[in-house]
Structure 1
Amino acid sequence: MSATTMPTTAQAIQDLIHAQSVTIIGASNDGLKASGRTLRYLQKYGYTGSVYPVNPTRDTVQGLPSYSSVADLPEVPDLAVIVLPATAVNDAVRACGAHGIRTAIIFASGYAEMGADGARAQEELLSTAREAGVRLLGPNCVGAVGGPTNLTAAFMTGLDQERFSLADDGIAFVSQSGAMGAFILNTAQSTSLGVGRFLSTGNEADITISDAIEGLAEDATTTAILGYIEGIRDPESFRRALSRAQTRGVPVALMKVGRSERGAAAAQSHTGALAGQDSVYDALFRQYGVHRAESIDHLLDLGRIMASKPRPQGNRISIVTLSGGAGVLMTDVAQEVGLQVPRWNDEWAARMATELPAFAAVRNPIDTTGVVASDHTVLTRAARVCLDHPETDTVVVMLGNMEREEEAICTALAELADTSSKPIIVIWVGGSGRPQELLSGHGIPTFSEPVRALHALAAVANTRRQGAEPSREHTGDERADSVKPPNSSLQATATVAALDEVASKELLSEAGVPTVMEHEVLDAQGAQMAAKQIGYPVVVKLLSAEVAHKSDLGFVHIGLRTAEEVRAAALAIAERAERLGIQDRRIVVQQMVDVQAELILGMARDPGFGPLVLLGMGGVLTELDPDVQLRLPPLKEEDARSMIDSLRTGALLRGARGRSPVDEHALVQIVLSFSEWVEENWEEYDSIDINPLVGDAQGRLVAVDALVVPATTEAP
């Protein structure tokens, strides 16, 4: 196979998850050694494909016929697992290519994680693989797991126990950290979560975390994708991968570490990738519907909900429990996290009453009482009524203890779920813990703690309820030539002053941002004439390329209602500017706007991801209590609306405390127009601040101040 027939990323991911035949190059007869574990695990978990150990010193390895070289193999395996030391890896990769093997996993360390010499060795390895036509997972990784065939092409000791049999619910897990990935995979399987597809990307010489996400999203058998991420080398491919998952309807939850300055430095040292500005990841995840996990438990909880069959389609829940106190607890938590617990009307309460004892609560939450312990059909009948209820999107069942009844109740719930078009979620506190195992195979997410369950349900259900259309599919073509990896250095090429306020707003008016009526003048007499043309009241400001923040220095006079007030303000500004040694002392006279709401709209540049669009509450709130949202162009209407809806103090835009509401439709169009302009012109500017963009008494929006800083660095 030549480099011209190099397999695609999708083909390589298929090989890593669905391989029907595997060769282990360097396989040891000692199954306790790292080089012997892969074969032992394949036999332990019942791999359904063919296995070909390669060991020139033995006729058999762990009971299987051994081959002296790759060339001697009786067929071309789908996957090679190279368990040799780094010094022998390149020759093994060449042998794979010569035999037609297109995908290989490399466990060996001693590459880029070891510094400059290791980095050169990794480059040589990649060059060898390219020449041989072989795609690589690793090096310095712990391997791959493919549940569909019980493939365990790995050497991690997390597979070395008897607690699970490798369940596969179609949930995939990708990790840049081998150890953390192994820990999380083991935890998932030990708690009956069917994370049956696992890829450890290691040093990412070839296949990256982005490639893994995109390839898994393309796999029709993938139900959800979880991930542990330290840093992204190629932001464009990462966006493309998230876009593809969103377009295909494959939910994604990622645990992104490196939030703190020290954490980011640790991530860079460990993986050679920059962690990136954390707020950018938050924005990116919101934009592509990715759930951000705050802990390992949270990541796995999200995985349970995302892989449920069917998935939640809204945020309205009906609660069925055998404890009134539990119902109150869950209702409180549901309201805190944004889930609705609609109170049932008389008709549906009466229908529920026919299935329950006379003293049961029937309005939601439903209290079936302790009679369930002696007659579990009461529970399933109540759950059936909840599933039929038109204002219920998900049924949440909370039980506890009842070890003797566990199997019968789980069987009944599984039969009910198999006939339902709505999801059932079970919380079982206490007992043996077996309900998770009994119910997971039926697509019923099962938890042992109610608060965690409702937090995870809310994250997924609220996303579904918002009905967010996929962001415009990101192919990476928009900026492929201009974006460099985030670890490229940025060198200042010149020192360029910010544009003055008038020039800034002239530029922004071209971007579709409405600007305040204003005139630039040179002196007090000119200011009086401008004020007469505009009409009182007016604002008088210093206009100077030397001063960016004028109000801090007393260069802004507002609410001026007479020609004399305008003249006095203009003279005072000129005198103060001269006293401070400011040479550029022009004046700008603006129409006074009846401010009802203040926003900030702007652009910034990230070293890796390029241009960012910012929307937030403006004025003094910007500095005192920042409330902003970031998104990455290109934006669609749903992205702009999501930015507005996600503002903590967004009620101020909707007429809170007697204010006039902002025209939200107009605001959405301004954000979209500005975003389109940014997408085309961002390389020319370091930053843009429109602060404030104000809403007046009629809800109209207008920019009254702006600061545009031309680019002083090469485009990232």
Structure 2
Amino acid sequence: MTNNLDLRPLWAAQTIAVVGATERVGAIGRLPIEYLTKFGFDGFIAPVNPKGGTILGLPAFQSMAEIPQHIELALIMVPASSVREAVKDCAAAGVEVAIVMSSGFGEVDPDGQIAQQELVDIARADGMRLVGPNCIGSVGGAHRVMATFSPVFSSESTPLPAGNVALVSQSGALGFGALSLGLERGVPIGIAITTGNEADVTATEVAAQLAQDPEVDAVVMYVESLGNMDQLIRVAGSKPIAILKAGRSVAGAAAAASHTGALASPDKVVSAVLTQNGIARANNIDELLDIAALFASEKKISGPAVGIVTTSGGSGILAVDALESEGLTLAELSAETVTALEEIVPSYGNATNPVDVTAAVMAESGLFERCVNRLSTDPSVNAIVACFAVLVGKDVDRIAQALGAVRENTGLPVVAVRTGAAALAPEGAQVLKEAGIPVYPTPERAVAALRALVTINTPERKNLAPSTQPGIPVPQNGASE
């Protein structure tokens, strides 16, 4: 049978079966049902357990064959010795996508690799896609698909994933850890999907399909190897994509091979392929989430020239250093702009780029706002970095409103650097969030995010033909942790 290519049930299923469902407290077969109920999944849940009865108040089915509805997504949560039969039953029942959460396959030994391939063969024979094995699952989407056993969602403090950014991770524990960190920071991640051993479905394939979803405006990824990227490259021009690829060093590549069976590719080759195709590369989890926050603002950038306005000379200097490190440039302001700024900025400040308004902003209402507005009209400025430190109360509120207005009226990307505790002015932080202004704790992190925005908007980039694309190997087995 032709293999089903549609992976949308991972984030849009309305019928979900949990194979290996149980009421036993702490069991992984209980948690997805708890989460689906807790977060308001609006579809049909089918617990599957040979004993039948009820599980957490829902009628339980003794087998997949008993379920009266078509199942889009099945979660297989049985011991490794029972997985083969469960996959066979799901495929025979016409399930579209199955997530095998059980461990004990390709990540263990050669026999496990053989058993893992058998699962793929069984699934493909009936056109079912297989995610995993050794996978923690997926969450999010409009229907609140909470198809996971991750302990992240056991906490009352973890909010429902919501927003226009999708996160895809080859590693389950790291992926859901990054999701929780992003949600804590206010990054609007609405979908998170992990791929585990990638026996069938890969992270790049999932990301390519997410990029075509109208509810998704950006995709960020953690991977240990990059396989066939043709699909991802084809959609890269339509949605912002950023990738954090582990195993950059020789030792790291060896660790990745041990972890997921990832085959090493020369790091310079990986960077070249990503950059040439307008896919941004992150260096760490913080940077990946910083990029996600900027991508969520849905702003494009027309060039690498940045205008800086700051209340701190030190922050401005650090921002200039960061521009050079990241391959961006300091915008050369026109004489007209400099003259206009000289009429606004105190004589002991600086009216050239970076524009330093000094601490006078605390005494002179509207000073920072006028400088930002004037800077934004200079034709050489492609983006604005606004740095302010240790401001409190209404000062932050005013600045936040001014930055939001510039972003709205000019279309320029605007990022804020706030070196100081958010608790000093929580209302200002909320205003910045509502205005779509990403906030970073240091100039370096703000500029690194802008570099990613430049990468995805580079007009000169050309897609590589599949036949000339450098080989970036696919892992043969892996682990979700």
TM value normalised by structure 1? 0.60
Q: Could you tell me how far 1:104 is from its partner in structure 2?
A: 1.4
Q: Which residue of 2 aligns with 1:538?
A: none
RMSD: 3.2
Q: Which residue of 2 aligns with 1:265?
A: 254
Instruction: From the CA coordinates, give the structure whose radius of gyration is larger.
Output: 1
**8 A Cα contact 2:312 2:356, kept in partner:** yes
**8 A Cα contact 1:191 1:436, kept in partner:** no
* Corresponding residue SS for 1:468: coil
Q: Which residue of 1 aligns with 2:129?
A: 135
98, 105, 113: which one pairs with 2:99? Answer: 105
Partners of 2:139 and 2:253 in 1: CA distance: 29
Q: Which residue of 2 aligns with 1:21?
A: 15
1:60-209 to 2 correspondence within 5 Å?
60-209=54-203
**Letter paired with 2:420:** G
Q: Tell me which moved more, 190-199 or 400-409.
A: 400-409
1:549-628 to 2 correspondence within 5 Å?
none
304, 322, 334: which one pairs with 1:333? Answer: 322
Instruction: Give 5+ residue unaligned stretches, structure 1.
Output: 489-716
Structure 1 residues 210 and 309: CA distance shift in structure 2, 3 A = closer
Deviation digits for residues 123-157 of structure 1 (CA, Å, limit 9, x no counterpart): 22112212232111111011112343332211122
**8 A Cα contact 1:439 1:445, kept in partner:** yes
Q: Is 1:322 the counterpart of 2:311 in the alignment? A: yes
Q: Which residue of 1 aligns with 2:4?
A: 7
Deviation digits for residues 562-590 of structure 1 (CA, Å, limit 9, x no counterpart): xxxxxxxxxxxxxxxxxxxxxxxxxxxxx
Structure 1 residues 28 and 437: CA distance shift in structure 2, 3 A = farther
* Corresponding residue SS for 1:35: coil
TM value normalised by structure 2? 0.86
Structure 1 residues 303 and 51: CA distance shift in structure 2, 3 A = same
Structure 1 residues 227 and 479: CA distance shift in structure 2, 3 A = closer
**8 A Cα contact 1:169 1:223, kept in partner:** no
Q: Is 1:467 the counterpart of 2:459 in the alignment? A: yes
Structure 1 residues 366 and 282: CA distance shift in structure 2, 3 A = closer
Partners of 1:64 and 1:412 in 2: CA distance: 52
**Letter paired with 1:467:** P
**8 A Cα contact 2:275 2:455, kept in partner:** no
Q: Which residue of 2 aligns with 1:417?
A: 407
Q: Which residue of 2 aligns with 1:456?
A: 449
Deviation digits for residues 79-108 of structure 1 (CA, Å, limit 9, x no counterpart): 222222223333333333343321111100
Structure 1 residues 21 and 376: CA distance shift in structure 2, 3 A = farther
**Letter paired with 2:387:** M
Structure 1 residues 429 and 60: CA distance shift in structure 2, 3 A = farther
Partners of 2:369 and 2:414 in 1: CA distance: 11
* Corresponding residue SS for 2:29: helix
Partners of 1:354 and 1:67 in 2: CA distance: 76
Deviation digits for residues 456-476 of structure 1 (CA, Å, limit 9, x no counterpart): 323432663x522332443x6
**8 A Cα contact 1:57 1:68, kept in partner:** yes
**Letter paired with 1:461:** V
Q: How many residues align?
A: 472
**8 A Cα contact 2:357 2:367, kept in partner:** yes
**Letter paired with 1:450:** P
Partners of 2:350 and 2:205 in 1: CA distance: 51
Instruction: Give 5+ residue unaligned stretches, structure 2.
Output: 477-481
422, 425, 429: which one pairs with 2:419? Answer: 429
* Corresponding residue SS for 2:84: helix
**8 A Cα contact 2:243 2:288, kept in partner:** yes
Q: Tell me which moved more, 107-116 or 261-270.
A: 261-270
Q: Which residue of 1 aligns with 2:479?
A: none
Q: Is 1:245 the counterpart of 2:235 in the alignment? A: yes
Partners of 1:485 and 1:322 in 2: CA distance: 48
* Corresponding residue SS for 1:214: helix
Q: Which residue of 1 aligns with 2:224?
A: 230
Structure 1 residues 137 and 411: CA distance shift in structure 2, 3 A = farther
Structure 1 residues 487 and 37: CA distance shift in structure 2, 3 A = closer
Q: Could you tell me how far 1:274 is from its partner in structure 2?
A: 1.4
Q: Could you tell me how far 1:407 is from its partner in structure 2?
A: 5.4
Partners of 2:11 and 2:53 in 1: CA distance: 29
Deviation digits for residues 624-664 of structure 1 (CA, Å, limit 9, x no counterpart): xxxxxxxxxxxxxxxxxxxxxxxxxxxxxxxxxxxxxxxxx
* Corresponding residue SS for 1:34: coil
Partners of 1:407 and 1:63 in 2: CA distance: 48
Q: Which residue of 1 aligns with 2:244?
A: 255
Q: Could you tell me how far 1:58 is from its partner in structure 2?
A: 5.7
**Letter paired with 1:211:** E
Question: Between the two proteins, what is the percent identity of the paired residues?
Answer: 33
Partners of 1:438 and 1:160 in 2: CA distance: 30
**Letter paired with 1:7:** N
**8 A Cα contact 1:30 1:62, kept in partner:** no
Q: Is 1:397 the counterpart of 2:386 in the alignment? A: yes
186, 207, 227: which one pairs with 1:213? Answer: 207
Partners of 1:446 and 1:261 in 2: CA distance: 34
Deviation digits for residues 511-563 of structure 1 (CA, Å, limit 9, x no counterpart): xxxxxxxxxxxxxxxxxxxxxxxxxxxxxxxxxxxxxxxxxxxxxxxxxxxxx
Q: Could you tell me how far 1:343 is from its partner in structure 2?
A: 4.5
Structure 1 residues 459 and 134: CA distance shift in structure 2, 3 A = closer
**8 A Cα contact 1:231 1:268, kept in partner:** no
Partners of 2:305 and 2:355 in 1: CA distance: 14
